[in-house]
Structure 1
Amino acid sequence: MTNPIVSAAWLMNHINDSEVIILDARLDQNQSNLENIHPNLQIKGARLFDIKNNFSDSNNPLPNTFPSQEKFTAECQKLGINKNSIIIVYDTLGIYSSPRAWWMFKTMGHSNVFVLDGGLPEWIKEGYPIEIRHETTNFLLGNFEAKLQPEFIKNKEQILENIATKEATLIDARSQDRFNATLEEPRAGLRSGHIPGSINVPYTELLKDGKYKSKEMLSEILNLDDQPLLFTCGSGITACIVLLACELISDNPKAVYDGSWTEWGSTNFPIEK
């Protein structure tokens, strides 16, 4: 199992490698109300991986859903990404939206992708080179080609079926109070509660100071068996934080419920509280 995360020191040692491309996968706003403390800075040479505007299905009313294979290919090529690129993704909160970008590349068939543990805050703390944030898009067109791995994404019907079959373990990354419906959903109009049979692992329990906890601690918190794993959250972002934590310690098959609670909570599908 290849380690899917890299340290700031590793990236600094490889920052000038010709095949390395650094992607800034920040979200300027987030449902967790976390504050970007360096909104105007980026890692030197980073390219903006715009999840909201370029790497989501703009025709889908749900937020952050996977774009088509064709759109993903076109947007990656615009960023100068090639088939042989070694992609390092980071965000400005340490670990937040970067695992989503990482999982999107995996789902689109590109395995040479890694998350910068600690993200921009760790990079700045180490004194490594930064620059004023910009959104340059005039890169040489890359030859990247997406090849969708459909088993990595699940829809609501597949999640509904799993309630009955229990073939996979469904992990919900939202906070405990949202999972237990003691706090209203931040998105208006959604029911509160959780998908029947799911277990709650708030993504915040897996992180410390913007980095993943040790593999030993992750194993203790997650307590995984051999079942396939499915991941859900509010809109498919923080589910990938938990998925990546599981990837650090487990080879179990993994998939994300892309619609997550934003979709499930707006249907008449069963819920538990």
Structure 2
Amino acid sequence: MLISTSDLNSLLNNSNVIIADTRSFKEYSEGHIPGAVHLDLFAFHWIDTTKQGIENFNNQTQNLLSFLGVTAEKKVVFYDIISGMLAARGVWMLMYFSHDNTSMLDGGITKWKKENLPLETKPNGFKPSKFKGKINPEIISGFEYIKDNLDKITILDVRSTGEYNGSTIRAAKSGHIPNAINIDWNQNINKDGTFKNNEEISKMYDYPKDSEIVTYCQGAYRAANSFLVLKKLGFKNVRVYLGSWGEWGNKLELPVEK
């Protein structure tokens, strides 16, 4: 799920590779990896995980991936400023549609620029496809699944300490999902923007590899980053709570802890 700068540089002229820049359009227009298209994934918040809400998310995501031009034979690489949450969200979305030939650029454009690799400023257009994909329900969670399994699953709150303990309020209610453990997603990342190595990361996520783990944050972007880290470590049963605190913290009937 990770690709190095040198490996991506060797694929720049490969017509079977789609490179998606997930930063803002301003950042993209000031310089991007040659051939990259712009896809600001932060525009696609989703905080409804009712049955209908998930169906709507599936349809929207399928349309988005069709717009991006994904087909079965394409390799899709997402990049961010660092090994960040937007690129991670893109990788998770493709894995959710069982398209495993997808990667995040480790270190993002920060590492790319540091190595003086090529950049361009001209925008690149999409070449849309009719993406189908097969939904993988094993890597997504809605609020009902968590509510029904609060005592059976490991819940990782990957937000800041303030969001977790309730001193930072970003919904109708503050605090965290009962039993959730706080491991800030920023701890996944080295100072240079790359992912920490497995030895360092595994000390933070010291759980049996067959544990069922659900990650969440405010809008399931940071949670996607921690999802990728857990998969990198070999955890088999990891889900992202799509609605995250944006949904849970605004549903007054759901329990919270501080």
Please indicate the TM-score interval, normalised by the length of the shorter structure: 0.7 to 0.9
1:205 aligned residue = 187
How many residue pairs match? The answer is: 251
**Cα distance in 2, alignment partners of residues 146 and 113 from structure 1:** 13
- Note closer, same or farther for the CA distance 1:131–1:249 as it changes in structure 2 (3 Å cut): same
Contact residue 36 and residue 124 of structure 2 kept, 8 A: no
Residue-by-residue CA offset, 1:63-111 (whole Å, 9 max, x unaligned): xx87543433333233332211011111124422111110000001111
Contact residue 2 and residue 104 of structure 2 kept, 8 A: yes
Residue 88 of structure 1: SS of its match in structure 2?
strand
Q: What letter is aligned with 2:172?
A: L
- Note closer, same or farther for the CA distance 1:213–1:145 as it changes in structure 2 (3 Å cut): same
- Note closer, same or farther for the CA distance 1:256–1:131 as it changes in structure 2 (3 Å cut): same
The match for 2:241 among 233, 254, 257 is 257
The match for 2:70 among 81, 89, 99 is 81
**Cα distance in 1, alignment partners of residues 230 and 99 from structure 2:** 19
The match for 2:23 among 6, 11, 26 is 26
CA RMSD of aligned residues (A): 2.4
Residue 32 of structure 2: SS of its match in structure 1?
strand
The match for 1:219 among 202, 208, 221 is 202
Contact residue 69 and residue 147 of structure 1 kept, 8 A: no
Residue 43 of structure 1: SS of its match in structure 2?
coil
Alignment of 1:40-59 (within 5 A): 40-53=30-43
Contact residue 72 and residue 146 of structure 1 kept, 8 A: no
**Cα distance in 1, alignment partners of residues 147 and 124 from structure 2:** 40
- Note closer, same or farther for the CA distance 1:172–1:250 as it changes in structure 2 (3 Å cut): same
1:71 aligned residue = 60
1:173 aligned residue = 158
**Cα distance in 1, alignment partners of residues 115 and 9 from structure 2:** 10
2:177 aligned residue = 195
Question: Can you give the 5+ residue segments of structure 2 that lack an aligned partner in the other structure?
Answer: none
**Cα distance in 2, alignment partners of residues 266 and 90 from structure 1:** 31
1:149 aligned residue = 136
- Note closer, same or farther for the CA distance 1:48–1:270 as it changes in structure 2 (3 Å cut): same
**Cα distance in 1, alignment partners of residues 122 and 42 from structure 2:** 17
1:101 aligned residue = 90
Residue 104 of structure 1: SS of its match in structure 2?
helix
Contact residue 35 and residue 124 of structure 2 kept, 8 A: no
Contact residue 21 and residue 79 of structure 2 kept, 8 A: yes
Residue-by-residue CA offset, 1:5-54 (whole Å, 9 max, x unaligned): 111011112222231111112257xxxxxxx977722111111223244x
**Cα distance in 2, alignment partners of residues 27 and 197 from structure 1:** 35
**Cα distance in 2, alignment partners of residues 261 and 39 from structure 1:** 32
Q: Which has the higher helix share?
A: 2
**Cα distance in 1, alignment partners of residues 172 and 82 from structure 2:** 26
**Cα distance in 1, alignment partners of residues 255 and 78 from structure 2:** 36
Q: Which runs of 4+ in 1 moved over 3 A?
A: 36-39, 65-71
Q: What letter is aligned with 1:191?
A: K
Residue-by-residue CA offset, 1:213-238 (whole Å, 9 max, x unaligned): 01100001111213111110011100
**Cα distance in 2, alignment partners of residues 175 and 52 from structure 1:** 19
1:248 aligned residue = 232
**Cα distance in 2, alignment partners of residues 92 and 41 from structure 1:** 12
Q: What letter is aligned with 2:162?
A: D
Residue 87 of structure 1: SS of its match in structure 2?
strand
Question: Can you give the 5+ residue segments of structure 1 that lack an aligned partner in the other structure?
Answer: 29-35
